[in-house]
Structure 1
């Protein structure tokens, strides 16, 4: 089975980025097979997201964990990004933001500090987030609107009863 070690990440200051990352424990045999497949990256990521929406593997983000992670994501705004929208799913997170610093630095801080915080509250140890993440720079207004609506509707589409607590957006009508 072909497993890629690192995804290529595109980082540019002031770029609008769509980023998805997932819990370490959400990885199972099916996801590992999908990750190692030769599918085009956007199709692969779409299938991964569809699977994660239904999977309970690594699903730690419920109740207070949603509020805790949402507050942490908002706390990074002044130095690392301008937050546009996010959706906290049970085992993964979608973010839309304008980059203020290097993407790898931002993601290392975000995932590292939130992992410590979430592990502490959950009374667990070890890796919380999968090492890698998916990112896509937004190309134009149409792409922006698609990403914003995807994030906005992800929890609803997955049928989560607490969907209203899982989405944050700066506005209802996305504009570039």
Structure 2
């Protein structure tokens, strides 16, 4: 678990924010799981959101507006993933789902406290709190945790599938959980995602769900 240095904020195509002691809701997906025209639509929507936010001066109003906009954007993003007819769905292979399941569990109490996850055919929802490093000052970096997780599972999954090349989309979506009420709502959302996608009738029937009792 080396090279997991903490950064509170960083940005690629999406902004990423990891306050100390934060619980994070993270979604990461397979490469090629969304078609380019859908990605373009989502990018345009994000740009419209940023332009609107740029016109708001009051910091409290800006914060609440950004929160609501992100919720709407994520709902569209996840709906596209749930309803994708084409694209990579390697996580629908039981061997790959089990690999990712065990890899997520392996890191519990090592680099994060694992609260919940759901492995869907083309993406993963994860709720976790990065742990403070052994120096007792800062938490492990979620970006580095995901990099390690993705690198290992991609290598092993490609061996199983007999393929080469990129497995995961590089960038992930993450959201800082604001309070206990939102935590409950997000965990319920994660566990019920297979039901929402029409894969099972009850969240308990989805083998690739997990939550901390």
TM-score, length-normalised on structure 1?
0.88
Structure 2 residue ranges without an equivalent (≥5):
1-10, 47-68, 132-139
Q: State the partner residue of 1:174.
A: none
Q: State the partner residue of 1:41.
A: 70
Which secondary structure state, in structure 2, belongs to the residue aligned with residue 85 of structure 1? strand
Query: Are the equivalent residues in 1 in contact too, given 2:117–2:124 (CA < 8 A)?
Result: yes
Q: Which stretch of the first structure deviates more once superposed, 162-171 or 94-103?
A: 162-171
Structure 1: how far apart are the matches of 2:91 and 2:141?
Answer: 26
Q: State the partner residue of 2:197.
A: 158
Which secondary structure state, in structure 2, belongs to the residue aligned with residue 125 of structure 1? coil
Q: State the partner residue of 2:36.
A: 29
Q: CA deviation at 1:38?
A: 2.9
Structure 1 residue ranges without an equivalent (≥5):
172-176
Q: CA RMSD in A?
A: 1.8
Which secondary structure state, in structure 2, belongs to the residue aligned with residue 19 of structure 1? strand
Alignment of 1:9-158 (within 5 A): 9-39=16-46, 40-55=69-84, 56-62=86-92, 63-100=94-131, 101-158=140-197
Query: Are the equivalent residues in 1 in contact too, given 2:34–2:81 (CA < 8 A)?
Result: no
Question: What is the number of equivalent residue pairs in this alignment?
Answer: 168
Structure 2: how far apart are the matches of 1:36 and 1:157?
Answer: 24
Structure 1: how far apart are the matches of 2:20 and 2:130?
Answer: 5
Which secondary structure state, in structure 1, belongs to the residue aligned with residue 45 of structure 2? coil
Structure 1: how far apart are the matches of 2:82 and 2:177?
Answer: 23
Q: CA deviation at 1:41?
A: 3.4
Q: CA deviation at 1:42?
A: 2.9
Structure 2: how far apart are the matches of 1:134 and 1:42?
Answer: 12
Q: CA deviation at 1:64?
A: 2.0
Structure 1: how far apart are the matches of 2:45 and 2:83?
Answer: 23
Q: CA deviation at 1:164?
A: 1.6
Q: CA deviation at 1:19?
A: 0.1
Kindly name which structure, 1 or 2, has the bigger radius of gyration based on alpha carbons. 2
Q: Which stretch of the first structure deviates more once superposed, 29-38 or 133-142?
A: 29-38
Q: State the partner residue of 2:14.
A: 7
